[in-house]
Amino acid sequence: MQDNTINLLNALLDQNILHEDDKTQIIHMYNTITEYPYDSLFTNNTKFNILHYFNGQTDTEDLKIMMKDTDSLYTLQTLVTDNIYRGTIISDDKTTIFKTFIIDAEHVWKEQYCFTYLIELYFTLQINSILTDNDIISSPPVHRWGKVNINNRLIMYFFELPYYDTNTAVDNSNLTKNDIELITGTYINILNQNNLYTPAITHFLSDISNIINNEQIINMLHDRGIIVYNNKFYFIDHKHVFRTHAWAGLIYSLWTPRFKFNK
């Protein structure tokens, strides 16, 4: 591993974002990552939903994360090597969704970006294990994870989850503020009992007081990476889950120029 990567991991230990055992297991994941052939997962028509990206060639003090219109889809072959991407891909048969991290195959930050991906994957797996037997709260199981070479230009790091089509989900019209407060509070307590913390959901609880109607409830849930499907709450976004209260932007700031992380 590069010295910069070791320094990144040690900085995360110093700030209590990771524990020593976490670091050991994440390094093991890095050393055993599986590379998948592109055509075993995707086709030339596969569409990529860019959630955010930033220019990997910039050396300025304010490196802004750019947000894309989440309704805009791009074919993987059209992505440029200058940018570092994060987004999702829904499988062609609409049964799974890939969380993806894409970077130039020769980029100086490639290894550090891989570890950013592995940290989110690692804590996703931790939460999946914790919630295995819960009847009300769940986290989608990880089917596959690894990396893909895209035309010898880009490297994609990914993990694959079940895709829940909310258009066919059960009616959520009876959800109330109390329901949301109870469920999210329970989720936070379960994480805290396992020495995990998530400021995104904690802040969400404080925002609930501004909710007026059920439509706002559902929209706020989706914005926070929470969906209600077949009478179960699925927490699907764990990018802000660490051993202490911290935002994912902090990890980026340790291996890129200073920037403003907008989400």
At a CB cut-off of 8 Å and minimum separation 6, what does 123 contact?
196, 238, 241, 242
pLDDT of residue 20: 97
Enumerate the domain spans of the chain: 3-166, 167-235
Cβ neighbours around 76 below 10 Å, total: 23
pLDDT of 33: 98
Q: What is the pLDDT along the chain (263 residues), one digit of tens a residue?
A: 888 899 999 999 999 999 999 999 999 999 999 999 999 999 888 888 887 777 766 554 444 555 555 556 788 878 888 888 888 999 988 899 999 999 999 988 899 999 999 999 999 999 999 998 898 999 999 999 999 999 899 999 999 999 987 665 555 657 777 888 888 899 999 999 999 999 888 877 777 666 666 677 777 777 778 888 877 889 999 999 999 998 888 888 787 754 443 33
Verdict on whether the full-model pTM lies above 0.85: yes
Whole-number Å distance between alpha carbons of 115 and 121: 9
| Cα angle for residues 33, 35, 39 (degrees, 5° grid) | 150
- Sign, CA dihedral 116-118-122-124, equals positive
CA distance 222 to 261: 20
**pLDDT, position 210:** 67
| Distance between CA atoms of residues 134 and 191, nearest Å | 13
**Predicted local distance difference test score (pLDDT) of residue 255:** 74
Q: Alpha-carbon distance 262 to 260, whole Å?
A: 6
